[in-house]
Amino acid sequence: MDPTARRHVVYVVSDATGATARRVVEAALAQFSGAQVTVEQIPGVQTVEQIRELIDRAAHNGGTIVHTLVIPQLRQTMLTEGRRRHVVTIDLMGPLLARLSETLELSPLAKPGLLRQLDESYFERIGAIDFAVRHDDGRNPDDLPQADLVLVGVSRTSKTPISVFLAYRGWRVANVPIVADLEPPPALFQVDRRRIIALTIQPERLLKLRQARANRMARGLSLQYATPDYIQKELDWAELILRRERWVTLDVTNKSIEECAAEIVELQGRRLA
């Protein structure tokens, strides 16, 4: 092919970002080896005037328009104006919406950017889950001030499952264990007190949970981990720290993870409003 030949322009037009349409166009162009094509992405097109300007531009440059417009009026304008100016316009969204509407017996929302919003929500959740995993059980304590919420409590107060449950809903949650006679990491005391919740539990319930864990693990736990005396000592130590720091507490005794998470969300909604 003559390197001086004029490159064809494909305008990728969207009322949102245009990222989806661009991927489709580039996938299609990959089937045409050696084609001299420039792809120009034009996002945020939401008025009839913008459509007409694009048609004029494509007519002047001899370009093709590929679009994913969800608003019916804009799709119709693109079609009629394109025909009037002899510009090829390819509607990626309209036929699909029409067929799905017929099949599902529902009307499309015609709201631009929904896919992008869903993508952003998904990646926020993934980021929050990653944060919870990296800050589980006191790991990476220097990052604690970055957390939306920090859960503290002795072992077997459901800190980890509650953290993951909340992370799936987009909360950046860290959790820090309280161990008898050990001070929590200094970074914990730099966190806004309103973002810390201490999980408490009744001694009898904690004893059963620790005994069950000790039986499952057999080895790897201190001999005193599941003894009444040590449990009471650890709870007393935790109570001393909680009172000293004036952290809000949540009793998790005999509550499901879902119940605890719901109470935390409600509580934080009031505290941070």
Closest CA to 165 of 255, 249, 259, 266: 259
- Report the alpha-carbon distance of residue 166 to residue 128 in Å, rounded: 9
Q: Is the dihedral of CA 173, 174, 175, 181 positive or negative?
A: negative
pLDDT at 154: 97
* Extents of the domains making up the chain: 8-112, 116-271
- Report the alpha-carbon distance of residue 59 to residue 37 in Å, rounded: 16
pLDDT at 92: 86
Considering the four listed CATH numbers 1.20.120, 2.60.40, 3.30.200, 3.40.50, the one that applies to the domain covering 116-271 is 3.40.50
pLDDT mean over 257-262: 94
pLDDT mean over 191-214: 95
pLDDT at 75: 87
pLDDT at 1: 42
pLDDT at 221: 72
pLDDT at 60: 93
| Across 25-34, 111-120, 159-168, least confident range | 111-120
Above 80 in pLDDT, residue 6? Answer: no
CATH superfamily of 8-112: Response regulator (3.40.50.2300)
Pick 82 or 102 by higher pLDDT.
82
Above 70 in pLDDT, residue 110? Answer: no
Above 50 in pLDDT, residue 223? Answer: yes
CATH topology match: 8-112 vs 116-271? yes
With cut-offs at 50, 70 and 90, classify the pLDDT of residue 42: very high
